Amino acid sequence: MNSPLATGPLSPSAGDPQPVVFTYSKRDVEKAVNSATGWTKECYSEFDTLLCSQWDRAVADGVFRYSLDEVVTRLVPGRYGFIAQRNPKRFSHRRKPDEVKSICQPFNRELFNFNKVKRSEILLELKREGGVGHWLLVNVSPIDYGHVLLVPQPQDCLPQIMTQDSIQLCLDVMAMSGHSGLIMVANSLLAYASVNHLHYHFMYTAQPLLAATVTGRPLTRSCFELVDHPIPGFGFQLDTPTYTCAENIFKVVSILIDANIPHNLVMLRGVPFNQGSSTADCVVRALLIPRKPAYGLKSIYDSGQVPPFFAAACELGLGFIPVVDQSKYESLSEEDVLQVLNMSSLTVEDFDSVKTSVCTVSN
């Protein structure tokens, strides 16, 4: 899907060094999916090793706006096991967001986009055999170790509207990693995406996340309704080829786009939705959270009155809560978190309406 405002590809500066290319095949992904139960926190695949070495090089070269040395986390006591993180420079040093008025806002080349980053920020070019190139960029204001941005077909100038091909690309990356701590988070426009250029966040975490074990009841053959998650949402798992799983996820994403409903998407490794939390099995699971629109992100940053935390994909999907203020980080309770998350949740009536559409399309 090309943007109406994209008149042609953007060209990198002449003489810039070319990024390292990582090429993979359909067979590589299939093999990785079939060996999913072998994932561990300590296991790094060829892909992980290359990505982390490139990320470490960028740290040594001073590419980032701050280090993660002073970032701390704590478990928020309560039923859900939220993880709070204090990372104040994430808010003071990140790029200021653009003004967003629609979840289908066209790409605008005059605004910041990822074709304008420095070459030193491009860690890898990712290619499936016979396919086009995609970039893995450093996030110069990282949340956790290895925080990168996957930008599909960057020079096509795609707006921040999730596509089936890009969702499959995310599933490919998750499958090729051997590390069970790799997570993906993505925000639609009006769901706290700050740049209107299609991108997905990946990073490694050692934190136990509620999204890895939250259960779900079968809604259709391929989609689960989240049961014990703080707010309503949908679940999917990679027990089919990545193409099929991406198609199933995108069916629901399309419903949300057509209904003008903002949404957050996360992927991580966890137990299958149809098994108990004690199982040793491990799958890539995806949680898709439809939510109320979040307007005025740019004006919030411009005012300097940043709230304790935003309810974006990390918070709504994973239960991982980066917090700005030290005192709020220390005092944050489960009740505080739920109050903010519930303000972003669809009403029961609106979620039931989406559920009806999902059942109609998927069955």
Query: What residues are annotated to the active site?
Result: 199
Strands 122-128 and 20-24, by their bridges, are parallel
224-226: strand order across its sheet: 20-24, 122-128, 133-138, 148-151, 200-204, 182-187, 263-270, 283-290, 234-237, 224-226, 216-218
- Any idea which residue has 């067979």 for tokens? 27
User: Can you tell me the distance from the alpha carbon of 83 to that of 129, in angstroms, rounded to the nearest whole number?
Assistant: 39
**Are residues 102 and 190 in contact, defined by beta-carbon separation less than 8 angstroms?**
yes
Strand partners, 291: 345
Structural tokens at position 272: 């299958």
- Any idea which residue has 């505080």 for tokens? 336
Structural tokens at position 192: 């706290």
349: alpha, beta or left, given left = phi > 0 and alpha = psi -120 to 50?
alpha
**Are residues 87 and 310 in contact, defined by beta-carbon separation less than 8 angstroms?**
no
DSSP state of 43: -
Q: What are phi and psi of 312, to 5 degrees?
A: -110, -160
Q: What is the sign, positive or negative, of the torsion defined by CA atoms of 57, 60, 63, 66?
A: positive
Structural tokens at position 139: 């996030």
Best CA proximity match to 262, nearest among 105, 153, 109, 96:
105
User: Can you tell me the distance from the alpha carbon of 259 to that of 254, in angstroms, rounded to the nearest whole number?
Assistant: 8
Best CA proximity match to 289, nearest among 310, 260, 318:
318
User: Can you tell me the distance from the alpha carbon of 349 to that of 351, in angstroms, rounded to the nearest whole number?
Assistant: 6
